[in-house]
Chain A
Amino acid sequence: MNLLKISSAGIRGIVGRGLSVEMAIRFAQAFATYLDGEPLAVGRDSRPSGPMLRSAVLAGALACGNRVVDLGILPTPTLQSQLPRLGLGGAVVIAAGHNPARWNALEFLAADGSYLTARQGEELLEIYEHGEFAAAAWDGIQPLERDDSAIDRHLELILDWCRADAIRDRRFTVAVDCCNGTCTLLSPRLLEALGCRVVALNDDLSRTFPHDPDPRPENMSQLQALVKAAGADIGFAHDGEGERLGIVDETGRALDLEYTFALACLIGLEGGRCRGPVVTNLSTSRMAREVARRHGVTLERTRIGQAHVAERAAQIGADLAGEGSGQVFFPGLHPGADGIAAMAFFLEHLAASGETVSQLVEKLPRFHRVVSNLAFPPNRIFRKLQRFRDQVGEPGEEAAMDSTDGVRLSFPDGWLHVRASSTESVLRVMAEAESEGRARELSRRALEAIAE
């Protein structure tokens, strides 16, 4: 099966089986055309198809006559934070974050470093589908430019933003798993600059991903062992492009990815660094909502995906946003999810409060979560989803329905969300409730409705 998603968020697929170089050339042409002659940047993560897709994107963008600045390998939040300074009209990111190494994707950024909004993404897609691209004459093609300053500048930005001195005083021991990805170039440097004793793992860009680059507990066993062996105060795990962050506490316990954003809310609102409102997506655990409630702050939910969360955060002036997949946004810093700045954010709180990570986790309310993935051929996914929606019908007074991204039912004591995965051909059924029994009951309800 060819796995490929073309959407307003760009293209994502398995390289050579769905995602082709021809497509990458055309998408770059479409984007350069969309920018109407404005200069653009190209950055990428470290996966093996990167050099090939980079060449494809450079060829397409240069052919349109735009100035093109190659930023090389760098974390995506680094690119997002530096794009306004570079004064470029946009950027193409060749990276697939948490997806396995055989995947890759082209994502598109606007001049302020944010992902294209859904509306802008649709405009880009229209140009791509239409296939009439700008084409420079021989004397209109610009030589490729390079800029290597982004990582240094991003490092300085984070150091200025956090209370670096307070962190340095504590001389933390920090274990970090860079998954041989782009964070290798920045994460250990930041931690050292924050006075930490750094024990780094998988910090070699020339090697392939040692495990799936999604920092879920099942991919963090190496890091857990390292935290214990080194007696570290905390362990951090990055995805391939520096957006998602996984956490291991000081006892060596790997936290579910949902904890990253929930803890960020707790820290931000307790420490007073964030005033609210807070934005997250429809699938994110209620832990964050409960923390927001305690502090009298509203939590808004959007469709799944960086573009939606960041756009809403900008609209309502949120100073903290995130997704349950381990992404935290600090809109005051830049519009992207930043797993590297998030480390400084956590360390700052540990330094100021003297609390341990496990103590922080204890402060969060507990929820039970049941997730099932139902594999269907791509052409049946949406029919199944449709059927579920019809079955649910009018949910009545007991629940509120949201159908902006699949179907989500919200009950006083839990919620149920059924949606199509954005990367795999599966229907994802997620239920969360205060008790495990209730979560299972909600989940069963959905599975039965879909099976009929």
Chain B
Amino acid sequence: MKPIQTLKVSVSGIRAVVGDTLDPELVCRFCRAFATYLGPGTLVLGRDTRTSGEMVSHAAVAGLLASGMRVVDVGVCPVPTIQLAVRNLRARGGIALTASHNPAEWNALKFIKRDGCFLNPYEASELLALYHQREFRTSGPQPPPLETYPGAVQDHLDRILEKLAPAREPPLTVAVDCCNGAGAVMSPLLLERLGCRAVELNCRPDGRFPRPPEPVPAHLGPLCALVTESGADLGFAQDADADRLAVVSEEGVAIGEEYTLAMCTRLALSRQPGPVVVNLSTSRMIEAVAEDFGCPVHRSPIGEVHVTETMRRVGAVIGGEGNGGVIHPGVNLARDSFVAMTMILELMRSTGQPVSRLVSALPGYRMEKLVLRVHPHRVSGLIGALADRYRGERINREDGLKIEREDGWIHLRPSNTEPILRLVVEASDDGTFQAYREEFERAIRELTP
């Protein structure tokens, strides 16, 4: 039997390893299930730059046409671009072929509804039931046509500029690292339209990732060096499907991806106060920013669809995830690194402050995201035991276990996309952080069988 760790079926779609669990027939069947789920109509299909993308895309096309969808292929595009195209082209749904921040050997299918949002867990479970039943709709000998649409990136650029109406002056120099991912087909174009000179790094959309795609500081050494060398005003780093953004300051320091949403929230609330929605693992910086504007913060489980559904429910003006995913509902209910770039440049221009100053204006919490390798079958037992041990405290169990205290918090949960447990610890100072970390790592060790 294959190790189950290489195939992941969850709220976020299916993820698998190319040449191992990602068989074209599996992709074809899942697409037939999704076509059956949606009913006849148009479906937008796009993909990131992974080397397996073309193969997976053909498997998807075969399955979609076989089950009666008219397929509009938008080609290699950022994920938020695909999500927007679903709305613009009035499609019934969409599929993005991307494993976002997973390494190059992975690929995945993300299922998009007609409103541009991903399936929620209930909808995903309906899809999964259809997949297992294998009673797919069949188009017969005359399948609907396969069409291509090359205008999705242009439509996305136009919408961002129209909805956010950013300033294009003064001129700025921006170093940008697209990780040879889907961002490469759009980032230089956006920066040009925002009146910036782009200094490009890893902007070949060939799917050969020169660094791990997650834009965390440890992976951004070359970008930091480039910012310093080129005298850039700041640096931007994207993940492979360009939904997440991290920032490097003018001093060549990777400030950490949690700051992306905090800075964008500050700009958004200064323009239009209103509710903010972030996930449970996002830094408390957000509460500090929202408090300045007297705005409420709502927390949702991890995963874009949970954030967007909560945003819709509370009428949020801004939202996102601490991992660098910013959602501006005026553009689209999708994490969008291009929205984030536009808002950060706008914040700099409107305040006249460099990144380092914007960062120092925010409360300096210490946060770390740790990875624990625990056998997948032991995860729920461990979380239950831990919740039991800390039952007197402020506990949130909407997604794993979050324990909140006055000067910090911890959040322990299984990843939606990888066979790992994530432990996020945040505290107001280094000493508290160390104490928390030791306390909870010890507790987990003790409770792990």
Residues of A within 8 A of B (CB): 14-17, 20-22, 24-26, 29, 47-49, 51-53, 55-56, 58-60, 62-63, 65, 101-104, 135-141, 143-144
Contacts and interface: CB of A to CB of B under 8 A. Distances in A.
A171 B291 CA distance: 90
Contacts of A103: 141
B54 A16 contact: no
Nearest to A101: B141
10 contacts: A17-B140, A48-B143, A51-B143, A51-B145, A52-B146, A55-B59, A55-B62, A103-B141, A104-B141, A138-B107
B105 A62 contact: no
Interface in B180-237: 208
A25 B65 CA distance: 14
A86 B12 CA distance: 43
B128 interface: no
For B20, B23, B56, B104, the residue with the greatest tally of chain A CB atoms inside 10 Å of its CB is B23
B143 A59 contact: no
The 4 closest A-B pairs by CB, nearest first: A102-B141, A59-B59, A56-B62, A16-B140
Nearest to B18: A138
Contacts, number: 123
B52 interface: yes
B320 to A, nearest CB: 29
Interface stretch (B24-32, B160-168, B308-316): B24-32
B142 interface: yes
B140 A139 contact: no
Contacts of B106: 138
A136 B27 contact: no
Contact of B19 (A17, A20, A137): A137
Contacts of B55: 58-59, 62-63, 141
Given A63-B55, A138-B107, 15 more contacts: A16-B139, A16-B140, A20-B66, A25-B59, A48-B141, A52-B146, A62-B24, A101-B142, A102-B140, A102-B142, A137-B105, A139-B208, A141-B19, A141-B54, A143-B54
B18 A137 contact: yes
A21 B23 contact: no
A48 B63 CA distance: 15
Given A16-B141, A52-B143, A55-B65, A138 B24 contact: no
A293 to B, nearest CB: 44
B28 A56 contact: yes
Contacts of A140: 19
B58 interface: yes
Contact of B56 (A59, A135, A136, A143): A59
Contacts of A49: 141-143
Contact of B51 (A17, A24, A25, A139): A139
B18 A136 contact: yes
A114 B141 CA distance: 28
Contacts of B58: 55-56, 58-59, 62
B306 interface: no
A138 B104 contact: yes
Instruction: Name which of B24, B55, B104 has the most chain A CB atoms within 10 A of its CB.
Output: B24
Given A16-B138, A17-B140, A25-B28, A138 B52 contact: yes
Contacts of A26: 25
Given A51-B65, A55-B61, A136 B19 contact: yes
A141 to B, nearest CB: 5
B105 A25 contact: no
Contacts of A24: 62
Contacts of B32: 21
B24 A60 contact: yes
Given A16-B139, A135-B23, A21 B62 contact: yes
Nearest to B20: A135
Contacts of A51: 61, 65, 143, 145-146
Given A137-B19, A138-B105, A25 B25 contact: yes
B411 interface: no
Contacts of A29: 24
Given A21-B28, A22-B28, A59-B24, A53 B51 contact: no
B140 A59 contact: no
A48 B142 contact: yes
A272 to B, nearest CB: 46
A1 to B, nearest CB: 14
A14 B140 CA distance: 8
Contact of A139 (B17, B23, B104, B107): B104
Interface string B386-417: 00000000000000000000000000000000
A101 B20 CA distance: 37
Contacts of A62: 24, 54-55, 58
B50 interface: yes
A354 B51 CA distance: 60
Contacts of B59: 25, 55-56, 59-60, 63
A141 B52 contact: yes
